[in-house]
A and B are shown apart, each in its own frame.
Chain A
Amino acid sequence: MTTIKEIKDQLSNKKISVQELYDDYYNKAKKSELNSFNQLLEPEYNKQNIINSQSRYDEEKDLPLDGIPLGIKDLFCTKGIPTTASSKILEKFIPEYESRVTQNLLNDGSIFLGKNNCDEFAMGSSNETSFYGPVINPWKNKNQINDHLVPGGSSGGSASAVAEKICVASIGTDTGGSIRQPASLCGVVGLKPTFGSCSRWGVVAFASSLDQAGPITNTVEDAAYLLNSVSSYDPNDSTSSNHKRDNFLEGICKNFDRPITIGIPSDYLKDVSSEIIEQIENTKKHLTNLNINFIDVEFTTTNFALSTYYIIAPAEASSNLARYDGIRYGYRGKGDSLEEIYVNSRSEGFGEEVIRRILIGTYVLSAGYYDAYYRKAQRVRRLIKDDFQRILKDVDFILTPTTPNEAFKIGEKLDPIAMYMNDIFTVPTSLAGLPAISLPSGLSKNNLPLGIQLIGNYFQEKNLLQMASLLEKEFGFNG
């Protein structure tokens, strides 16, 4: 019993009840020692949802995700359930409203197991910046079996929990790679949809021109199930797109009825390890088996993507996080004046990496530096977007590694820039707003999962999932 489709079949055929399914996952999650949940909801909380779900199955009127136990990244506002963004500053925050994405998931019948741990305010690539401590990757390096490895980040709790199979799937967010990179390091599937696909309403804001919700799942088909639910127009998000959504399940495991070409950017592969290159070479063989053409392509802007991102994302973050002032909600520090309350609340409430990014953002937006950094980065961002459009004129998809390395040891990477380099292959797509999926392609010499990334054109998630499902079958990766 692994995929959503299989679980739904079992529920429909009365092989298992919604309650039994829930208990099974809840008990596994309760026993887990990987710290992938900030909060596991008490069974009492889900009691009525489970009864309702069961009666829909009994009446053969089940909803698309009926009874499916999900994890939710602790960045989505969930009504009446603490939502912390893994930060001390939101430790006691209980939203009075539900995010659009989680409302959609509830409307489709899913059951929330709890809130997944993540990097503080989604700022990190290893889940080590969480106020609630690091998440542990269920995978072990076979040559250093006692080491605890990072799950990646920022949606590290989501990826770890899905890989450990203590939830069927999880919904994460991706700003510069926060879905795809942890998916790759944990050997699961992670999809970042086109910017504007999923509403940002009720998602704790990091960088508003980049933040996008998306599924982390065990299979490509499961990602399609979740995307069908979470991708919708929302008037409460001014950047939400109101185009008609595809049924993302339609293309799964079907062959294309037209020739497909995949571009492989040679500039992405210049300085990567032989193991990562092997993943791409291996993927080429599978593409050949699938009768899919691949050609070399070359970007001109790749070297500038990380710099652009580390100006734009902190700039937007410093602005978004200005709202945490200790007055209306969140942690309040002591003070005899408003100024003291602001300063103490923020200095005591934010962790080290969040403070670093607020400082970078404040600096690049400050008088005298705005044009040289922020404005310049926005200009380069357009060049990056145009670079992708130039290449996507000739190819249907772009294939790259997801990450430059396998999962590393907790505490190993202390230098911020070394950490930022983790997102070297995921950040360009984020800046361009394009959809991209990471799927496990094989194992490293240390027996750790490695992933490849497929990038599609705007709102072409149906084709992207179709392509990914064909490759997934070819890889036969078994987490």
Chain B
Amino acid sequence: MSDINIKKVSYLAKLALNDDKAALYEKSLSEIIEWVDNLKKIDTEGVKPLHNITEKNQNIRNDEVLKNNSTEEILSNAPEKAQNFFRVPKVVE
């Protein structure tokens, strides 16, 4: 059995799971983690982790300011907005 604490993992992922769902995902995750655990059988001593296939030719843009969108455009998809801002519940008392 794996040691997955599903409540902790879902807390980190900002996901709320009711008890039924938590049990379902805990079982599912345990099975998947057990399944991927075969990686323990392959020797990777001295092997450098590969983050990205194109590791040799990452292109970096010049840090130039471009104006390619407006406040109005950016706010057009906001679920709630007020004036030129995204609207959220009060954060500071």
- The interface of chain A, by Cβ under 8 A from chain B, is 92-94, 96-97, 195-196, 209, 235-236, 238-242, 301, 303-304, 306-308, 310-311, 318, 322, 325-332, 335-344, 346-347, 350, 355-356, 358-360, 362-363, 366, 373, 375-383, 385, 416-417, 432-433
Contact = CB atoms under 8 A, between A and B. Distances in A.
22 contacts: A94-B76, A235-B59, A235-B61, A238-B58, A239-B52, A239-B58, A239-B59, A311-B39, A328-B77, A332-B80, A336-B89, A338-B91, A346-B13, A355-B15, A360-B29, A362-B9, A373-B33, A376-B40, A378-B51, A380-B42, A383-B47, A433-B54
B23 interface: no
Chain A contact residues: over half helix, strand or loop, or mixed? helix
Contact of A358 (B13, B38, B68, B78): B13
A330 B77 contact: yes
A458 to B, nearest CB: 8
Contacts of B37: 307
B54 A241 contact: yes
Given A318-B13, A362-B13, A383 B44 contact: yes
Contacts of A92: 77
Contacts of B82: none
B36 interface: yes
Given A196-B54, A358-B15, A378-B49, A417 B32 contact: yes
A406 to B, nearest CB: 24
Given A336-B89, A341-B89, A433-B53, A379 B77 contact: no
Nearest to A433: B53
B84 interface: no
B15 A383 contact: no
Nearest to A324: B14
**For chain B, what secondary structure do more than half of its interface residues adopt (helix, strand, loop), or is it mixed?**
loop
Given A93-B77, A307-B39, A337-B89, 12 more contacts: A241-B57, A303-B38, A304-B42, A308-B36, A310-B36, A327-B86, A329-B77, A343-B16, A350-B15, A358-B13, A358-B15, A379-B44
Please tell me the size bucket of the interface on B: 35 or more
A380 B42 CA distance: 8
A347 B15 contact: yes
A306 B35 CA distance: 9
Contact of A329 (B52, B78, B89): B78
B10 A359 contact: yes
B76 A328 contact: no
Nearest to B57: A241
Contacts of B77: 92-94, 96, 328-330
A184 B49 CA distance: 32
Interface of B: 4, 6, 8-10, 12-17, 25, 28-29, 31-33, 35-40, 42, 44, 47-54, 57-61, 68-69, 73-74, 76-80, 86, 88-89, 91
Contact of A346 (B14, B74, B88): B14
Contacts of B6: 359
A238 B42 contact: no
Contact of B49 (A242, A340, A355, A379): A379
Q: Which of A337, A338, A344, A382 has the most CB of B within 10 A?
A: A382
Contact of B44 (A209, A327, A337, A380): A380
A-B residue pairs, 4 tightest by C-beta: A433-B53, A378-B49, A332-B79, A329-B77
A338 B42 contact: no
A378 B50 contact: yes
A363 B4 contact: yes
Contacts of A375: 49
A52 to B, nearest CB: 24
B23 to A, nearest CB: 13
A377 B35 CA distance: 13
Contacts of B9: 359, 362-363, 366
B28 A356 contact: yes
Contacts of A306: 36
Contacts of A209: 51-53
Nearest to B17: A347
Identify the interface centre among B15, B69, B89: most chain A CB within 10 Å of its CB.
B15
B39 A96 contact: no
A311 B54 CA distance: 20
Contacts of A310: 32, 35-36
B39 A304 contact: yes
Contact of A328 (B35, B60, B78, B91): B78
B54 A383 contact: no
Contacts of A325: 14
Contacts of A96: 69, 73-74, 76-77
Contacts of B88: 327, 338, 341
Most buried by B among A94, A304, A342, A363: A363
Contacts of A343: 14-16
B72 to A, nearest CB: 9
A426 to B, nearest CB: 16
Contacts of B31: 416-417
Contacts of A346: 13-15
A346 B17 CA distance: 11
B50 A385 contact: yes
